[in-house]
Amino acid sequence: MAKNLHCIAKKHDSYWSARCLDFSLYAVGDTLEEAKQKLEEEIDEYLYDALEGESKNYAPYLLLRKADFSEWALFYTLDLFTRCRSLKQWIGEAFSPVIPHGPYNHGHA
């Protein structure tokens, strides 16, 4: 069964930032799509390391590392605003990528 993650993206002066609230991961990019893609790659690497890699002994801690309450409040606020698509280019958006099922393809062949 697939699980959606809780992520937010924010517009800054010259770049976008993206954060996964479920694992407290963060990425930046010049565009919204680049920041989201980098974050999704980081999530994939993180899950591989936590479930199959060197950090698998710490999986319970790593998989329960959540962002603070203010970030969750922002997620639900942005989620509401994202439903009004015209606002997303001005303030940011909330998005929920699906966690892939293993084996994780994290770029280390």
pLDDT-derived band at 84, boundaries 50, 70, 90? low
Residue 75 to residues 17, 20, 62, 65, Cα–Cα distance (Å): 13, 10, 21, 16
Question: Is this model's pTM higher than 0.95 or not?
Answer: no
pLDDT-derived band at 26, boundaries 50, 70, 90? very high
The half-sphere exposure of 75 on its side-chain side, counting CA atoms within 13 A, is 19
Segment 34-75, tens digit of pLDDT: 999 999 999 999 999 999 988 889 888 888 888 888 888 988
C-alpha 4/C-alpha 12 separation (Å) is 25
